[in-house]
C-alpha cells in the first residue's frame, strides 16, 4: 500500500477547500506515475481514517476526480485510477528545497530570446521626474471623460454597445478623428482612411507586419525611437541609418542609398524628431516626398506629439502634401491626454487600412469600444480641443521655465537648444559624464531621469538624454533641477 499520509499534504489554512486540495494531489500523483492506470484506490472510510478527515471530504474529492477524468468508478468494486492513461515512469519526489515554482521554472521547450527586444519598460515614477516626455495626467479632462463614459450606457441598443464592434474602431471616433485631422493637419481623409489602434505602437506594429518582409531595407535616422526599430527588426527587415542634424534627417544621404539598393520604407518623426526634437526643414520634406515617388518606398510618418508646437501653427505633416499615396501616417492621443488611454490611429489609403484591419482582427479583435466612444464624444462636444489649448499653454510655460532653469543653474555643464514644441528638451552633458551613474545618483535622491544610453548609435556615446518637462509643475521642475545640479557636482 502506498503511504498516502506522507504523499498527501493538506493545509487547512489555505482558502482552497480540503476536498479540492486532495483531488488536485491525487491528480498530481497520477501524472507523476506514483498512482498507475487501473490502480484501485483505498475506500473512502479507510482513506478518511489515514488522513484524519471526514468521510464526506473523501467522497467529494473522489467525485471531483471522477468529474475531471482522473478516476473511474466500478460498480460494487470501488474507485480506480482511470485505465486510459498511458504508463508513466514513476518520478522521484523532490526534496522541499528542490521544488521549483511554476512562475520561475524554465519551459521544456526552446524559447528564442531576441536581444533587440530587451528594452526597459517606461512607467510613471512617483516623486520628481524628468521623464522621456510624458503628458501631465493631472491636466486630463477626467470629468468630461467620465460624463462621456456614462452616456455610453444610456445611448442606443445595449446589444449593439456590448457586442462585437468594427475591427477598424468605433465609427464615432473615426468620424470625429477624420474631421479633426482634416481641420488641423490639412489631410483629406474619410472614415475609411482611419484605423483606430491601442496606441501608436500597435499601429506601427501592424504597418510593419503588413508592409515588410525579411530582407527588406528600411532607413531610419541614426538616432530614432527604439519602439519603431524593434518592430522593423521583428519582421526580418534590415535597418540602415542616415545622419540627423539640426534640420532633420539627411535626405541627400538617403538619395545615395536609394541609388545603390532598393529601399522599402523610411521611418521618420519629422515634426519633432525623436529623440532630438528638431523639425525636418521644409526643403527636405519636399525632397523626401519626391524620393518616395521616384524610388517607390513607403514613408512611415510617426507624428507622436503634433498637438504641442509652441511657435505659431504646427508644421503640417508630410501626409498633408502626399499626392501619390506614399505616406502612412501614425499618431496617438496618448501624449495628448494620458498614457493610460490607449488610443492611437493609422491614416492611409483604404486598401492598406483594410489589410491592417484584417491583421488586427487576429491579434486584438477590436479596441475598447467604450473608451473610443467616450473620446469621440469629447471631440464632438469640443471638450478635447479645449483640453489641447489648455495643455498647450501650460506646456509652453513649463518649457520656457525649464529652459531658463537649465540656462541659469546648469549653464556650465549642459548644452541644449530650446525645442519649438514637444514635451522634452534634448540635453547634452559634458564629455566624460557617466550617464548611467548620473541617473542612479539622481534616483537615490528621489529624481527619475533616463540615462539616454538607449539613444546612442552603435559605437557612439552622445552623453545626451531627453529631459521631459511637461509632466511636472514649475515648482517640481525647480526642485528637479536642484537635485540634478547636486548629483552632477557629486560626480565631478
For the chain, list the domains and their CATH numbers.
Answer: 4-98 (1.10.10.10), 128-133+386-490 (3.90.1150.10), 140-382 (3.40.640.10)
Cα distances from 146 to residues 152, 176, 377, in angstroms, run: 10, 19, 11
Backbone angles phi, psi at 100, to 5 degrees: -105, 130
**pLDDT score, position 100:** 47
In eight-state DSSP terms, residue 192 is G
- Burial letters 257-270, b for 16+ CB under 10 A, else e: bbeeeebbbbbbbb
Q: Where are the beta strands (DSSP E) in 75-191?
A: 78-81, 128-130
Question: 541609418: which residue's cell?
Answer: 241
Per-residue cell: 191: 472614415
Cα–Cα dist 322/304, whole Å: 19
pLDDT of residue 342: 82
In angstroms, the CA 356 to CA 414 distance is 44
CB contact set of 153 (below 8 Å; sequence gap of 6+):
161
Q: What is the pLDDT of residue 339?
A: 72
d(CA 228, CA 3) in angstroms, rounded, equals 59
Contact 359, 369 (CB under 8 A): no
- Number of residues that this document lists for the chain: 492
Cβ 63 vs Cβ 26: under 8 Å: no
The residue to which cell 473522489 is assigned: 62
- Give Cα separations from 268 to 217, 237, 241, 282, 471 (angstroms): 15, 16, 11, 14, 25
Sign, Cα dihedral of 6, 8, 13, 19:
negative
Distance CA 281, CA 387 (A): 29
Whether the Cβ atoms of residue 430 and residue 413 lie closer than 8 Å to each other: yes
Q: Are 289 and 374 in contact (CB under 8 A)?
A: no
10-residue averages of pLDDT along the chain (492 residues):
80 90 90 88 90 92 89 89 72 50 66 73 73 87 81 68 78 93 91 92 95 96 90 94 93 96 96 90 93 96 84 82 94 78 91 94 81 88 90 93 94 90 92 90 91 86 92 94 90 63
Backbone angles phi, psi at 328, to 5 degrees: -110, 120
Q: Which residue from 196, 339, 218 is spatially nearest to 268, judged by alpha carbons?
A: 218
- Per 3-state DSSP, the chain is made up of helix, strand and coil in percentages (nearest 5) of 45, 15, 40
- For residue 417, give the nearest of 285, 249, 245 by alpha carbon: 245
**pLDDT at site 121:** 66
Predicted local distance difference test score (pLDDT) of residue 109: 73
Which helix (H) or strand (E) segment holds residue 370: the answer is: helix 369-381
How does DSSP classify residue 30? H
Q: Which residue has the cell 506614399?
A: 326
Taking CB atoms within 8 Å and a gap of at least 24, the contacts of 484-488 are: 484/130, 484/410, 484/442, 484/447, 484/449, 485/409, 485/410, 486/445, 487/438, 487/441, 487/442, 487/445, 487/447, 488/410, 488/413, 488/429, 488/433, 488/438
Residues with Cβ within 8 Å of residue 139, at least 6 apart in sequence: 387, 390, 391, 394
Which among 155, 145, 154, 31 has a CA at the least distance from the CA of 376?
145
Nearest to residue 470, comparing CAs of 341, 335, 344?
A: 335
Are 227 and 454 within 8 A, CB to CB? Answer: no
Contact 302, 318 (CB under 8 A): no
101 φ, ψ (degrees, to nearest 5): -70, 150
The dihedrals phi and psi of 231, each to the nearest 5 degrees, come to -65, -35
Amino acid at each position: 500500500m502506498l503511504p498516502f499520509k506522507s504523499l498527501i499534504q493538506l493545509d487547512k489554512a489555505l482558502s482552497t477547500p480540503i476536498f479540492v486540495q486532495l483531488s488536485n494531489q491525487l491528480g498530481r500523483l497520477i501524472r507523476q506515475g506514483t498512482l498507475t492506470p487501473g490502480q484501485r484506490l483505498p475506500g473512502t472510510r479507510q482513506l478518511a481514517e489515514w488522513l484524519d478527515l471526514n468521510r464526506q471530504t473523501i467522497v467529494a474529492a473522489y467525485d471531483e476526480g471522477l468529474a475531471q477524468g482522473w478516476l473511474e468508478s466500478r460498480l460494487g468494486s470501488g474507485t480506480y485510477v482511470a485505465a486510459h492513461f498511458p504508463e508513466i515512469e514513476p518520478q522521484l519526489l523532490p526534496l522541499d528545497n528542490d521544488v521549483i515554482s511554476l512562475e520561475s521554472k524554465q519551459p521544456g521547450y526552446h524559447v528564442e530570446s531576441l536581444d533587440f527586444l530587451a528594452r526597459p519598460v517606461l512607467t510613471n515614477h512617483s516623486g520628481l521626474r524628468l521623464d522621456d516626455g510624458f503628458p501631465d495626467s493631472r491636466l486630463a479632462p477626467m470629468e468630461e471623460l467620465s460624463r462621456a463614459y456614462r452616456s455610453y450606457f444610456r445611448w442606443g441598443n445595449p446589444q449593439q454597445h456590448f457586442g462585437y464592434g468594427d475591427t477598424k474602431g468605433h465609427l464615432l471616433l473615426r468620424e470625429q478623428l477624420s474631421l479633426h485631422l482634416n481641420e488641423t493637419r490639412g489631410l483629406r481623409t474619410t472614415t475609411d482612411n482611419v484605423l483606430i489602434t491601442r496606441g501608436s505602437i500597435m499601429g506601427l506594429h501592424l504597418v510593419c507586419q503588413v508592409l515588410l518582409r525579411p530582407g527588406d531595407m528600411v532607413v531610419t535616422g541614426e538616432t530614432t525611437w527604439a519602439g519603431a526599430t524593434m518592430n522593423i527588426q521583428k519582421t526580418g527587415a534590415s535597418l540602415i541609418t542616415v545622419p540627423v542634424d539640426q534640420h532633420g534627417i539627411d535626405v541627400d544621404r538617403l538619395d545615395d542609398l536609394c541609388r545603390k539598393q532598393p529601399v522599402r520604407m523610411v521611418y521618420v518623426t519629422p515634426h519633432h524628431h525623436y529623440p532630438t526634437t528638431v523639425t525636418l526643414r521644409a526643403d527636405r520634406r519636399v525632397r523626401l516626398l519626391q524620393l518616395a515617388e521616384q524610388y517607390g518606398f513607403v514613408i512611415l510618418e510617426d507624428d507622436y506629439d503634433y498637438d504641442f508646437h509652441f511657435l505659431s501653427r504646427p508644421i503640417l505633416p508630410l501626409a498633408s502634401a502626399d499626392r501619390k499615396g506614399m505616406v502612412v501616417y501614425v499618431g496617438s492621443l496618448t501624449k495628448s491626454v494620458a498614457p493610460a488611454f490607449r488610443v492611437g490611429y493609422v491614416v492611409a489609403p483604404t486598401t492598406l487600412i483594410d489589410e491592417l484591419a484584417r491583421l488586427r482582427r487576429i491579434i486584438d479583435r477590436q479596441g475598447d469600444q467604450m473608451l473610443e466612444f467616450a473620446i469621440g464624444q469629447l471631440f464632438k462636444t469640443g471638450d478635447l480641443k479645449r483640453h489641447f489649448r489648455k495643455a498647450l499653454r501650460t506646456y509652453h510655460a513649463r518649457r520656457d521655465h525649464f529652459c531658463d532653469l537649465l540656462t541659469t543653474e546648469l549653464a556650465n555643464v549642459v548644452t541644449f537648444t530650446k525645442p519649438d514644441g514637444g514635451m522634452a528638451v534634448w540635453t547634452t552633458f559634458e564629455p566624460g559624464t557617466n550617464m548611467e551613474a548620473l541617473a542612479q545618483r539622481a534616483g537615490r535622491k528621489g529624481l527619475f531621469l533616463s540615462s539616454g544610453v538607449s539613444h546612442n548609435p552603435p559605437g557612439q556615446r552622445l552623453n545626451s538624454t531627453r529631459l521631459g518637462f511637461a509632466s511636472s509643475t514649475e515648482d517640481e521642475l525647480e526642485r528637479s533641477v536642484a537635485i540634478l545640479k547636486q548629483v552632477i557636482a557629486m560626480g565631478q
